[in-house]
Amino acid sequence: MIQQLRAVPVLLTQPVRLLRSYPRAALMADLLAGITVGLVLLPQALAFSLLAGLPPAMGLYAAVVAAICGALWGSSSHLHTGPTNTASIITLSVLLPIAAPGSPEFIAAAGLIAVLAGGIRLIMGLARLGLLVNFVSDSVAVGFTAGAGVLIMSNQIEPLLGIDLPPSDGLIETVVGAARQIDGTHLPSLALGVATIVLIALWPRITRRVPAVLVGVSLASLGAYLLDLEGQGVAVLGPLPAGLPPLARLPLFDLELIGQLANGALALAIIGLVEAVAIARAVAGYSRQRLDSNQEFVGQGIANIAAGLFSGYPCSGSFNRSALSYQSGARTAMANVFSGIFVLGATFALAPLIAHLPRPVLAGALAITAWSMVDRRTIGRFWRSAPGDAAIMIVTLVATLLLPLQFAILIGVLMSLGYYLLRTSTPRVVAVLPDSAFRHWGFHPERPQCPQLAVVDILGDIYFGAVNHVEESIQDILAATPGQRFVLLRMHSVQQLDISGIRMLEGLLRQLRERGGDLYFVRVREPVLARMRASGFIEQLGPGHLLDEDTAIDTLFYRVIDPAVCIYECERRAFRECHSLPKRTLPNGGAPAIPLLPLGARPVPTVEPRALWEELKSNTPPLVVDVREPREFRQGHIPGALLLPLPQLVGAPADLPRDRPIVLACRSGRRSARAAAVLANQGYEHLRVLRGGMIQWEGANLLTAVEV
């Protein structure tokens, strides 16, 4: 909260920083770009105000005030704020139930809803809620930009062909209506528009110092004047209202009206913000500018508040004017300030001249600018490399063409959010094995898994939305190799673990221990480990279950998993350690002959290596029976030990003295425990197991016999 309060003065003083750091070298480029955008802003302001059911003067006032304020308080150097198609349509739909279009009540409500929507945007910016636009993915921006470009081009059909189309918001209706009137095409208008497009397209080959759009519009307009095309029926802008934007008298304290406008103001605020930031991000994709979403929220908020107070109506970011600003060479946000000043000046000094500006010329300039908005290269990259993002892009593009723009953006955002939730709720969970060099772990579905130990990579967070998927994936891995009782989870990709994930791990731990196995972890990140400790899961897990990645398999291989399975029941060599054990697979896999011992069974008495050494030196030494394989026995065994490999011991009744204490030995003590269980079933008593097997015997530096 303190940081948010400290940020308020910074966000509100953006104009000071913009003017202080303004490079003088950018003045001419910004001025030319501002004039170019202003030439397009003029007719659009008039047209969009009529679309909203408002007087043309309100469009001009909104264009002047919003362009200046949006540029000064925003963060984008190219996002142009002013009257837009989307804002005009939403304004009309919200105000129609309240008053008749064009009436004083309708005009007052339009100004008031602009102030309300602007206030919501301003509060969101000051509260630093710009992170909300993170859900507008690049695929949404690209699809929306391309769709808007096509729509803008379709909207230029009427002035280019010189026909009269009924008002329509849809691409199909516009195209169908134009096709029906194609015979009525006004050839001078079409020729003038095409000439403008050709001039703008070819001018960069001559020079890029002077904006192509400005040259094309100027030369085409001059040609129209010299050829007297206006006299031949070419449509022109017509007379403009003159004067400074007056301060409006708004019913700011009419609570009943504010209540009626509240929902509409919220819709305007949210949709306008998403639209504006999507446009800014799309243009920033070309300009490589870093944006501050919070500052953009503030800029959009102040622009709308000022527009409402000075006789305007709700505004937002404009796709075509923003793209035109970038294409015209604008270097800073001052270009958009100059566009507003140009419109203001045009209502005074240039009004008679601009009144004769041919509409087909502006239509041609908008059409070629809109064509540049269709980023075919990026669309191709999405299509080839990112199927999920490509689907979002295509759906957003189609929705932009067929639905109102606010719904198109909303659909794209919801799809992006859904796609994000889908990806995070279905992290990749795979059983991994070391490569042929035993250096790197990876997914090798062509190789069989270890029959005892599953090593599982979890590539994503374990939170409530992903718990079911992670649990089901682990169960599928265990079901594919039914004998697996031990699971080693590799957690390096798990950044978050919530209480639902803890409960899932607890269930997995219970399941494994009930079937005689256990659960182990490697590479657990500190935040996840802290959550495990705080929830008591580490206490349930017990010591020795968080392993070092470099030694985890070695530890599990020699201290946890059953070597009898490795030697007598498994022909696989999944791990490096498998190669150190002899392989002597028994008939039918050996499972009936050497049953697994359940975890928690009655422990077999053990004897420490040094204690056994002392007993062997006594007058009544115990009989040491080594149940390992002959190769292991020859490499080192306890002096005087009897070799009786485990398969031989369980294959037939043992012929051992029943009146003498017997100590069973193997490599680590696990085969000995199984042998002791078999002998106990045959009636032998006084059985013990060498604790830690030959590993601990050798670790105690006790005498070892070696056969050459």
pLDDT at 493: 92
Amino acid 206: pLDDT: 86
- Model confidence pLDDT, tens digit, residues 330-343: 999 999 999 999 99
Question: Residue 490: in which H helix or E strand, if any?
Answer: strand 486-490
Q: Are 291 and 336 in contact, with CB atoms under 8 Å apart?
A: no
DSSP character string of 555-621: HHHHHTS-HHIIIII-----SGGGGGS---PPGGGGTTTSPPPPTTPPPPPEE-HHHHHHHHTSSSP
Q: Could you report the per-residue pLDDT of 267-320, keeping only the tens digit for each?
A: 788 878 877 888 888 888 788 888 888 899 999 999 999 999 999 999 999 887
Listed in sequence order, the DSSP H helices in 103-248 are 104-126, 138-155, 157-161, 171-180, 187-206, 212-226
The span from the CA of 277 to the CA of 406, in Å, is 13
pLDDT value at residue 67: 96
pLDDT at 72 over 80: yes
How high is the pLDDT of residue 590? 43
Tell me: the pLDDT tens digits for 226-268? 888 888 888 887 776 767 888 998 999 999 999 999 888 887 8
CB 636 within 8 A of CB 705: yes
What's the pLDDT band for 3 if we cut at 50, 70, 90? low
User: Which tokens go with 494?
Assistant: 């798990």
Query: For 101-160, what is each residue's pLDDT tens digit?
Result: 889 999 999 999 999 999 999 999 898 876 666 666 778 878 877 887 787 788 788 888
Whether the Cβ atoms of residue 586 and residue 569 lie closer than 8 Å to each other: yes
Q: What angle do CA 672, 676, 679 make, to 5 degrees?
A: 135
Residue 222 has pLDDT above 80, yes or no: yes
Distance separating alpha carbons of residues 182 and 186, to the nearest angstrom:
9
Exposure string of 202-220, with b = 16+ CB inside 10 Å and e = fewer, is ebeeeeeebbbbbbbbbbb
pTM: 0.61
**CATH code, 606-699:** 3.40.250.10
Does pLDDT of 181 surpass 70?
yes
Length of the chain: 708
State how far the Cα of 549 lies from the Cα of 526, in Å rounded to an integer.
Answer: 15
Helix (H, G, I), strand (E, B) or coil at 546: strand
In this prediction, residues 678-700 reach a mean pLDDT of 89
For residue 51, how many other CB atoms are within 10 A of its CB?
20
Q: In this prediction, what percent of the chain has a pLDDT beyond 70?
A: 92
pLDDT (tens digit per residue) in 23-40: 989 999 999 999 989 888
How would residue 472 be classed by pLDDT, with cut points 50, 70 and 90?
Answer: very high
Q: What's the confidence (pLDDT) of residue 404?
A: 66
Instruction: Output the six-digit token pair for 46.
Output: 């008039």
Mean pLDDT over 602-607 rounds to: 80
**Residue that wins the pLDDT comparison between 355 and 158:** 158
Q: Which residue has the higher pLDDT, 449 or 354?
A: 449
Which pLDDT band, with edges at 50, 70 and 90, does 504 fall under?
A: very high
Residue 601 pLDDT greater than 80, yes or no: no
State residue 57's pLDDT score: 85
Comparing 101-110, 570-579, 619-628, the range with the smallest average pLDDT is 570-579
Apex CA 522: angle with CA 516 and CA 525, to 5°?
130
pLDDT at 589: 45
Helix, strand, or coil (residue 292): coil
191, 437, 490 from 440: Cα distances, Å: 67, 8, 13
Q: Count the Cβ atoms, other than its own, within 10 Å of residue 465.
A: 15
C-alpha radius of gyration, the chain, whole number: 39
Per-residue model confidence as pLDDT tens digits over 414-452: 888 888 888 888 899 999 998 877 778 888 888 888 888
> Helix, strand, coil shares of the chain as percentages rounded to 5?
60, 10, 30
pLDDT score of 168? 59
Fold matches, 428-561 and 606-699: no
Q: From CA 143, how far away is CA 419, in angstroms rounded?
A: 16
**Residue 346 corresponds to which tokens in the numbers above?**
């045009």
More confident call, 350 vs 466: 466
Query: Which residue would you say has higher pLDDT here, 567 or 638?
Result: 638
pLDDT at position 78 is 93
> Is the model more confident about 462 or about 94?
462
Q: Where are the domains of the chain?
A: 2-377, 428-561, 606-699
Looking at the domain that runs over 428-561, which CATH code has it been given? 3.30.750.24
In this predicted structure, the answer to whether residue 652 has a pLDDT above a threshold of 50 is yes
- Which range, 472-476, 665-669, 703-707, is most confident? 472-476
Q: Which residue has the higher pLDDT, 625 or 5?
A: 625
Over the chain, what is the mean pLDDT? 85
Beta strands 453-459 and 441-442 are: unpaired
- In this prediction, residue 134 carries a pLDDT of 63
- Is residue 521's pLDDT more than 90? yes
- Confidence (pLDDT) at 541: 93
Give the active site residues: 666
Q: Looking at residue 272, what is its pLDDT? A: 82
Share of residues in the chain with pLDDT > 90 (%): 35
Pairing of strands 486-490, 453-459: parallel
Q: How confident is the model at residue 588 (pLDDT cuts 50, 70, 90)?
A: very low
Mean pLDDT of 599-627: 86
pLDDT of residue 602: 57
> What is the reported pLDDT for 7?
61
Whether 566 shows a pLDDT value over 60: the answer reads yes
pLDDT score of 626 more than 80: yes
pLDDT at 5: 56
